[in-house]
Chains A and B, each alone.
Chain A
Amino acid sequence: MTSGKGGVGKTTSSAAFATGLALRGYKTAVIDFDVGLRNLDLIMGCERRVVYDFVNVINGEANLRQALIKDKRTDNLYILPASQTRDKDALTQEGVGKVLEDLKADSFDFIICDSPAGIERGAAMAMYYADDAVIVTNPEVSSVRDSDRILGLLQSRTQKAEQGGTIREHLLITRYNPERVESGDMLGLEDVLDILAVPLIGVIPESGGVLQASNSGNPVILDTESTAGQAYDDFVRRFLGETVPHRFLEVEKKGIFKRLFGG
């Protein structure tokens, strides 16, 4: 899960994605790569259960089983928190590669790497070993531009690219507001797709449910009442190969009166 720009919803999306995969029976790990600015633990609601972290495992100060936090709500789901160290070089390429290999050997089906913002070491390490990349983008100029920059890196600075292959890219648009798109104040879906030319995997509408979920430390996908939760569930199903139509793209019709009398 990557984006370049900060604050677009990478961690929220990583938490929802990992939970959605685990709910469908896949053994899933979600790793926070944001060394020094740990936050996935808060979004997943396990901040008080962190004992060891990603860097401890890389440095051999703890083993994977000690560091992985088993989610209390969802079976098959494990969280590997980021370290709060200020040492930016704590993540080594070999170390990260070994942890990912060990997780695979431990029969994990999916490993979600929650990238930090920016294009520094943490972001580079989160993308290096990826098979798939989900680019999280807001319909807003700086986010779209940074996503394009990240696409360039995905196509050149990853193990797959170095070996002459390609990473599967998926565009996830978050904070989509159909009202503002209709009024011409927000880039529409088609505009963003025109510019970035990456296959669309999901559109998450702007929703109060996201803030409520993070306030309470529950991945928003568990809030099946919220539009964002439903849209994340659609996204997970599409990732797993189902054909699911996109929802919440149009302005909601206002009640029966408007439908009867037009408007």
Chain B
Amino acid sequence: MGLFDYFSKKKPKSAQLAKERLQIIIAHERVNRTGPDYLPQMRRDIMSVINKYVPIDEDQVNVQFEKGDDCDILELNISLPEQAKAVRH
């Protein structure tokens, strides 16, 4: 980085930062609010059941809720680790 660059480099304006942060968090929160109230608890319960057999991270369970005309669709997507080791009991 040259001397010229150093002086001309602008600090990002805080309002721009605010907008970017808001867009990310609000998009995330909108996804979560479309489903019924029991969804977060159900997600935790499913996690704990799976964890009895295969150790997985929370971000490997994807719960999608879609409202349809005739029926609502609950989609569960669980990716197991490549070398899933069963937990011994």
On A, residues with C-beta under 8 Å from B are 140-141, 144-145, 148-149, 152, 156, 181, 183-188, 191, 194-195
Binds A, one of B26-34, B40-48, B56-64: B26-34
The 10 closest A-B pairs by CB, nearest first: A184-B13, A152-B33, A191-B19, A148-B26, A184-B15, A141-B18, A187-B15, A195-B22, A187-B18, A185-B14
- A184 touching B16 in the complex, CB below 8 Å, given contacts A148-B30, A149-B29: yes
CA distance A93 to B2 in the complex (A): 67
CA distance A20 to B88 in the complex (A): 71
Q: 12 A-B pairs, CB-CB below 8 angstroms?
A: A141-B18, A141-B21, A144-B22, A145-B22, A145-B25, A149-B33, A184-B13, A184-B15, A185-B15, A187-B15, A187-B19, A195-B19
Decide if the interface of chain B is mainly helix, strand, loop or mixed.
Answer: helix
B23 within 8 A of A: yes
Distance from A165 Cβ to chain B, minimum over Cβ atoms (Å) = 16
Closest residue of chain B to A181, judged by CB? B15
**Contact of A145 (CB < 8 Å), options: B13, B26, B33:** B26
CA distance A186 to B33 in the complex (A): 28
CA distance A191 to B16 in the complex (A): 9
Q: Is there contact, CB below 8 Å, between A184 and B26? A: no
- A186 touching B23 in the complex, CB below 8 Å, given contacts A148-B29, A152-B33: no
Q: Is there contact, CB below 8 Å, between A195 and B14? A: no
- Residues of chain A contacted by B26 (CB below 8 angstroms): 144-145, 148, 195
Residue among B14, B22, B25, B26 with most chain A CB within 10 A: B22
Closest residue of chain A to B33, judged by CB? A152
Q: B interface, how many residues as a size bin?
A: 10 to 19
Closest residue of chain A to B34, judged by CB? A152
Other A-B pairs beyond A185-B14, A187-B19, A188-B15, 10, CB < 8 Å: A141-B21, A141-B22, A145-B25, A148-B26, A149-B33, A184-B15, A191-B15, A191-B18, A195-B22, A195-B26
Q: Is there contact, CB below 8 Å, between B23 and A195? A: yes
Q: Is there contact, CB below 8 Å, between B14 and A184? A: yes
Q: Is there contact, CB below 8 Å, between B30 and A152? A: yes
- Residues of chain B contacted by A141 (CB below 8 angstroms): 18, 21-22
CA distance A40 to B27 in the complex (A): 34
Distance from B68 Cβ to chain A, minimum over Cβ atoms (Å) = 15
Distance from B70 Cβ to chain A, minimum over Cβ atoms (Å) = 15
CA distance A141 to B22 in the complex (A): 7
Q: Is there contact, CB below 8 Å, between A185 and B22? A: no
Distance from B14 Cβ to chain A, minimum over Cβ atoms (Å) = 6
Distance from B69 Cβ to chain A, minimum over Cβ atoms (Å) = 12
- Residues of chain A contacted by B14 (CB below 8 angstroms): 184-185
CA distance A140 to B18 in the complex (A): 8
Closest residue of chain A to B14, judged by CB? A185
Distance from A180 Cβ to chain B, minimum over Cβ atoms (Å) = 8
CA distance A185 to B13 in the complex (A): 6
